[in-house]
């Protein structure tokens, strides 16, 4: 059943950004003939929030059900405000929870978070981690993985991985980018041809400067490439120039960058924090190590480069895991959830 829907989230276009659920869902529902309204693409934060609220109210006769993305921090406030308007308009709505920081944020705002989640027809999470962490606020959370257009990611089986390493994230302290050159330095004695590419925007908290300073102090600047931001459509090509993917985060949930690397068949080494152990299985589709431990991460990379068959196994299982997140699998689930919420039934 095709249902008219309002999708509320960040619709700002960026050639380097990973789209959120709403921005990815909108064109796919529209292509299937669903009447779709969206909000907001306004540039300023206040203007964007005002547009979300006014759209939810002024166009209430044009949609049957709404979907709202929920993040921690200031973004939680606009989700609360929009959902208050949706309740006043007597519109059912779905929520999707995002971000590894959301559980910590919720612990200091128990009643507000519980009230918001329980007011929704359905609440989804992209990871088992958030589902488990947020159950105290609502116990019937639905797991719907972050979506991926698998056709955009060419798979290359890593039969004999080479020391070509890539890191893909924002330069921000929560992602601990300064760990990556330490790993490169630890590998350099045994693998003098090791190279590291670090792709991502500078969030201007000093992380990029720290990363380059550490690389210089450790003597690996010549083996480190920092191309900055890469357009989203070039990400698969960039990933496929490497064989090993590093995720150095101190805080994480279910990062799309890891899904992208899995889709390309890279051998993944990641810290075992937050939602990562829910997304990746150590020894099967990735190798997991403690956070902020360059020796442990370098040892995991060495295993991939030297242990016969390990790279091939990780590569195959990573691609198989990514296939579970393809839009061909997830779009029917979203259609069912939205139609059920609009009709008043629970799935």
Q: Which domains does the chain have, with CATH numbers?
A: 5-147+326-343 (3.40.50.2000), 150-323 (3.40.50.2000)
Q: Cβ(181)–Cβ(218) under 8 Å?
A: yes
Spatial strand order in the sheet of 195-199: 224-228, 195-199, 164-168, 244-247, 267-271, 287-289
Q: Please, which pLDDT band fits residue 13 given cuts at 50, 70 and 90?
A: low
pLDDT at 22: 84
Report how far residue 255's alpha carbon sits from residue 100's, in angstroms, rounded to the nearest whole number: 9
CB atoms under 10 Å from CB of 101, counted, come to: 16
Q: Helices 256-264 and 310-323 meet at what angle, rounded to 10?
A: 120
Radius of gyration in angstroms for the set of CA atoms belonging to the chain, rounded to a whole number: 21
What is the distance between the alpha carbons of residues 145 and 330, in angstroms, rounded to a whole number?
Answer: 8
Q: In which band, very low, low, confident or very high, does the pLDDT at 100 lie, cut at 50, 70 and 90?
A: confident
For 101-120, what is each residue's pLDDT tens digit?
899 999 999 999 999 999 99
CA 336, CA 131: separation in Å to the nearest integer?
Answer: 20
Encode 232-260: b = buried (16+ Cβ within 10 Å), e = exposed: eeebbebbbebbbbbbbbebbbbbbbbbb
Predicted TM-score (pTM) of the model is 0.86
DSSP states of 5-52 as a string? Answer: EEEES-----TTPPP-HHHHHHHHHHHTT--EEEE---SSHHHHHHHH
Give how far Cα 121 sits from Cα of 23, 37, 95, 112, 127, Å: 20, 19, 8, 17, 19
% residues pLDDT > 90 (the chain)? 85
Per-residue pLDDT, 344? 84
Task: Look at residue 347 in the predicted model and tell me its pLDDT.
Answer: 46
Q: In which band, very low, low, confident or very high, does the pLDDT at 45 lie, cut at 50, 70 and 90?
A: confident
Q: Specify the pLDDT at position 24.
A: 87
- Please tell me the predicted confidence (pLDDT) of residue 319: 98
Q: Are 287 and 300 in contact (CB under 8 A)?
A: yes
pLDDT (tens digit, 9 = 90+) per residue, 289-300? Answer: 999 999 999 999
The pLDDT tens digits for 277-319 are: 999 999 999 999 999 999 999 999 999 999 999 999 999 999 9
- Average pLDDT on 131-153 reads 94
pLDDT per residue as tens digits for the range 55-77: 999 999 999 999 999 999 889 99
The pLDDT assigned to 331 comes to: 96
pLDDT in tens, 120-139: 999 999 989 999 999 999 99
- Give the rounded percent of residues in the chain with a pLDDT score beyond 70: 96
pLDDT band per the 50, 70, 90 thresholds, residue 346: very low
């Amino acid at each position: 059943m095709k249902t008219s829907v309002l999708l509320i989230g960040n619709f700002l276009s960026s050639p380097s950004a990973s789209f959120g659920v709403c921005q990815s869902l909108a064109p796919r529902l529209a292509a299937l003939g669903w009447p779709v309204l969206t909000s907001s693409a306004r540039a300023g934060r206040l203007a964007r929030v005002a547009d979300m609220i006014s759209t939810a109210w002024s166009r209430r006769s044009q949609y049957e059900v709404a979907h709202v993305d929920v993040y921690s921090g200031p973004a939680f406030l606009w989700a609360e405000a929009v959902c208050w308007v949706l309740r006043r308009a007597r519109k059912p709505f779905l929520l999707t929870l995002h971000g590894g920081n959301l559980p910590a944020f919720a612990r200091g705002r128990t009643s507000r978070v519980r009230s918001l989640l329980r007011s929704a027809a359905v609440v989804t999470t992209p990871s088992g981690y958030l589902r488990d962490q947020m159950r105290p606020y609502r116990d019937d959370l639905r797991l719907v993985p972050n979506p991926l257009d698998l056709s955009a990611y060419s798979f290359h089986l890593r039969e004999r991985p080479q020391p070509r390493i890539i890191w893909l994230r924002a330069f921000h302290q929560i992602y601990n980018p300064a760990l990556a050159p330490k790993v490169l330095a630890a590998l350099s004695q045994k693998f003098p041809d090791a190279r590291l590419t670090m792709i991502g925007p500078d969030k201007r908290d000093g992380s990029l400067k720290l990363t380059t300073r550490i690389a210089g102090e450790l003597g690996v600047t010549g083996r480190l490439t920092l191309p900055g931001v890469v357009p989203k459509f070039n990400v698969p090509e960039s990933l496929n120039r490497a064989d090993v993917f590093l995720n150095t985060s101190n805080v994480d949930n279910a990062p799309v960058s890891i899904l992208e690397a899995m889709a390309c068949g890279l051998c993944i080494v990641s810290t075992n924090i937050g939602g990562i152990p829910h997304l990746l299985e150590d020894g099967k589709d990735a190798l997991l190590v403690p956070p902020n431990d360059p020796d442990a991460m370098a040892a995991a990379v060495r295993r991939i480069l030297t242990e016969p068959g390990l790279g091939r196994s990780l590569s195959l299982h990573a691609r198989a895991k990514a296939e579970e997140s393809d839009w061909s699998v997830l779009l029917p689930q979203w259609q069912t959830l939205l139609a059920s919420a609009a009709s008043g039934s629970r799935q």
